[in-house]
Structure 1
């Protein structure tokens, strides 16, 4: 019984100690900037998905070690949301 309890506690501790990663791509914006700074800055690389167009992203990425890509999680083919009008009473 003590072994089973010890095994369960060990597995539980390992599962809770595993690092969790946040979602890399923000699905609200169609363009992401991939920033590379591992060699010089030591900060690794990351994605900044806060751009509404490729030219906007390229202007921000200019002069940096970065590239702009379309967000693979942005719903490009989703139908536009219709506005709902409420009737006044």
Structure 2
């Protein structure tokens, strides 16, 4: 009889060696379009993160197999740099 611990260790090792995916979202734009193309004809799916608004993305996605979502990697709460004023006297 094999131990459950040994089986769990083997399964964990196999899952740890599975290929990982790189970040697919471009953090420079707040909206991404997730495009689904052909399950039978190939093509796969991808993200197009080049939109500044949901309306702009939805207009592009209209009539296609695509959805628009907010970009989870867009830096929303980044403080804006303060302007440097020089004093001349």
Q: When the two structures are superposed, what TM-score results if normalisation uses the length of structure 1? A: 0.65
Please list every run of 5 or more consecutive structure 2 residues that lacks an aligned counterpart in the other structure: 1-18
For these two proteins, the number of residue pairs brought into alignment is: 70
SS at match of 1:32: strand
Q: Secondary structure at the match of 1:34?
A: strand
Tell me which stretches of 4 or more aligned residues in structure 1 moved more than 4 Å: 19-22, 83-87
- Give the TM-score taking structure 2 as reference length: 0.65
Distance 1:85 1:22 in 2: 41
5+ residue gaps in structure 1? 1-18
CA distance in 2, matches of 1:84, 1:40: 57
Residue 64 of structure 1: how far off its partner (Å): 0.2
Name 1:9's counterpart in structure 2: none
